[in-house]
Every structure is written in C-alpha cells, then in structure tokens.
Structure 1
C-alpha cells in the first residue's frame, strides 16, 4: 500500500517529467510543508496519512485565503494561480461535503444537542463537538461554524 506522502512524491516526479509547472511547484511546496511538519517539535517523526492529509488541508486553506486576499487587492492573476493550486491539492483530500450533506449533519447535531439540554446560541460548543468528528477533513471549519450558527439562530 502506498502512503499519501509517497503518492505526492510520485506525482511530483510525473509532473516534473510532464513539465507541468503549476502541479510540480504546488506538490513541491506541499512536500516541503510535510517535511517541515515531520521535523517540527522535539523529535523527528514519520507522519501518518491522516497527518499528511491535515498538512494538505492546511495548505489548501492557505490557498483559499490568499486567493480571497488577491481578489480584494485587485490582483486577479495571482488569485487565479492560488485557486489553481488549491484545485491540485483538492485531489489529495477527501471529497468535500455538499451543502445538503453538511446541513443534514448539522441539523441532526442541533437536535442531539437540544436533547441533551443545550439550546440557543450557547449550544454552539456542544453542537460543534458533535459535528467536528463527523465532518473532519470534508468541510472547512469556518463553513461548518457558520452553518451551525445560522441553524441555531433559526
């Protein structure tokens, strides 16, 4: 079984041979982030696929935020580049939940929290505790929190 890290390395080699600049630079930056994560802390360690996935998700989030910042600054070309890099990274992440799937999970969690006595805006923490493990890696935290807030308010 190939690990996610070795798949990234193999895909980088393929991208370099194909002279795919966008893909090779994105994968190179991601592998650098993985290597940094492996050597950060008190002792070096081999990252599990889950850990590598968290690094990729963090890199993808950076790309989304940078694209938004470039858009606001009127720098469309850089924003497009960040989005394109984000698309490359998305290939290595679990399929993102659709709005409908996420709404169903949040609605169930709100009902579960209410059954446990948590209601209104103060229930946010209780609901997030239920939702987070169910959506881990498949929905951005900000997107989840926003939906939970709206569901609790409604």
Structure 2
C-alpha cells in the first residue's frame, strides 16, 4: 500500500479513536504533501512523501530544542509528541553498520577515490537512505572516508 494511503487510513483511525495529537499531526502532514503537489504540479511518490515527512521531523526537532533553550517545556513536549507520530510513518532507521556497508558499496560502484567524487557517492546513497538516516551525518561519514 502507498504511503499516502497509510496516512489517510491512519487519519480515519485517529478520528475514530479521538486521538487529537495524532489526528492533528497527520492532517498537518497531509496538508504539507498536498501543498508540495500543488506547488510542483505533480503527484508525489513514496520517496517524495518520505522527504516531506523527514523535513517535518527535522523542523520539529529544531523547534523543540529552541523551546527547551527558552524554558518552554510545554511547547517542547508538543513538538516531541508530533515527532513520535511522524516517525511512525518513516521506515526504521539504519544502524551504523548498515550505513557503513552502504557507503562502501556506493564508493565501490562509483569508483570514488577522493573528495571530488563526493557528489557521485551522495547521489547513489540518497535514494537508499531517504528517511532512514540523517543526511548531514551521512555526508560527514562520506567526507571522512574520502578525505
């Protein structure tokens, strides 16, 4: 089943269960997906939807850390609850060993030997790890291997 269908079914379930946090978060995600579809005039596939959900999680993590710094635990807790709901639609995160194996495989397939090949390696890895690994951390690991 497509990810958009999972979101819509989860929305119906949250309505039936009267789970306001889950329902609000799913509605927000569906609105963001619809907005991107309208802006780009395309129908998003699962990988594009994962990118939207991943971006939403990152935004909430940033907001929660800012709320924590400002001493607003109530708002931080709301953001963290939304993160939990969004992450339930993301695939399981990759382990460090799996990421290392994927980097080795990508470097071998592209013939990467130095920093000039960073883009090639990232191009191969991005679709494989979308929503399953932090792209910033992945980039740092690749730089470490190539440098």
Question: Alignment partner of 2:90: what SS?
Answer: coil
CA contact (8 A) 1:4 1:49 kept: yes
Output one character per residue of 1:23-71: Cα deviation in whole Å (capped at 9) or x when no partner.
0110010011111112113x4x433233322222221222222222222
How far off its partner does 1:108 sit?
Answer: 4.3
C-alpha change, 1:71 and 1:37, in structure 2 (3 Å) is same
Q: TM-score, normalised by structure 2?
A: 0.80
TM-score norm. by structure 1 comes to: 0.77
SS in 2 for 1:40: helix
**2:34 maps to 1:35:** yes
Q: What RMSD, in angstroms, separates the aligned Cα atoms of the two structures?
A: 2.5
Structure 1 residues 116, 82: closer, same or farther in 2, change over 3 A?
same
The 1-side partners of 2:22 and 2:12 are apart by: 10
1:26 equivalent to 2:21? Answer no
Q: Which structure has more RCO (C-alpha within 8 Å, separation ≥ 6)?
A: 2
Give, in whole Å, the separation in 1 of the partners of 2:74 and 2:11.
24
**CA distance, structure 2, for counterparts of residue 149 and residue 76 of structure 1:** 36
Task: Indicate how the Cα distance of structure 1 residues 137 and 48 shifts in structure 2: closer, same or farther if over 3 A, else same.
Answer: same
Q: Give unmatched runs, 5+ long, in structure 1.
A: none
* Contact 1:107/1:151 (<8 A) preserved: no
Deviation at 1:101, TM superposition (A): 1.5
Report how many residues are paired: 147
User: Is this contact kept in 2: 1:67–1:82, CA < 8 A?
Assistant: yes
